[in-house]
Amino acid sequence: MKKILVACGAGVVTSTSAMNKLQEELSNRGIDSDKYTLGQSSVAQVESLANDYDLVITTTQYDNDAIKIPVINGLPLLTNIGVDVVIDEIIDKLNLN
Amino acid sequence: MELLSPKFVFAQVKASSADEVIHYLATQLKDNGKVKDTFEEAVKAREQIHPTGLPSGEIAVAIPHTDVQYVNEAAITFATLDHPVEFHNMAVNDQLLEVQIVVMLALKDPHSQVEMLQKLMALFQNQELLAQLQKITDNRQLYDAVSKYI
């Protein structure tokens, strides 16, 4: 079971939208929701939560050397521009295929 | 409950800055009891730290919002702008976007409003439609056009 953290500014609105799109896109790729779990937070909480996750997706720019798991910019989950590339990257980093 | 109502849709608002647009829309929400008096300042403060400009394409949008604690009752405001104002890009530090449409969100429980959020994001991706919305000058006509999609 892979654990994905989705973070935005306040951890409420934008990340909710991004999470929903992520689930939809993974489902379109035939990846069932029992293969992963999702968490949601503000970017300020990412550092303290990262140890419990395999991957972080942020809708804001996020640079933090203390984070040892992959960090992916999830903006395409909101704009749909380049979403396939991001989904490929998430699947690849988590070996979801 | 309808989140979008005709009184919160504004065509070709004249504003010279992001703060002015936020002030205008937050005032509408406050005067109708949808948000607390502190909402506007909270949105502006949040915009400084976590900007909400979305590079949706030729027509960029912004979705200013803040924590649910500043909201009394969920509502969204939708404004096209007479001329673009600068918002910071949410995903790239220090990059400015010329925003032409501002949707201010006052949400109580975003998870129960996922469907609306997804429709909103889909609308932002429909640049052809956004270009049509931009041309509408009448608030009611803009409401009628927007309400078909969200």
Residue B107 at interface with chain A, using a CB cutoff of 8 Å: yes
- pLDDT tens string B10-21: 999 999 999 999
Q: What is the mean pLDDT of each run of 10 residues along chain B (150 residues)?
A: 90 98 98 98 95 96 95 97 97 95 93 88 95 98 96
How many CB atoms are located within 10 Å of the residue B116 CB? Answer: 19
A49/B79 Cα distance (integer angstroms): 37
ipTM of the complex: 0.85
Residue in A with minimal Cα distance to B93: A61
Distance from the B144 Cα atom to the nearest Cα atom in chain A, whole angstroms? 24
Q: How far apart are the first and last CA of chain A?
A: 13
Model pTM? Answer: 0.93
Distance from the B25 Cα atom to the nearest Cα atom in chain A, whole angstroms? 18
- pLDDT tens string A25-67: 999 999 999 999 999 999 999 999 999 999 999 999 999 999 9
Nearest to A59 among B90, B117, B120 (CB): B90
Subunit contact B67:A12, Cβ cutoff 8 A: yes
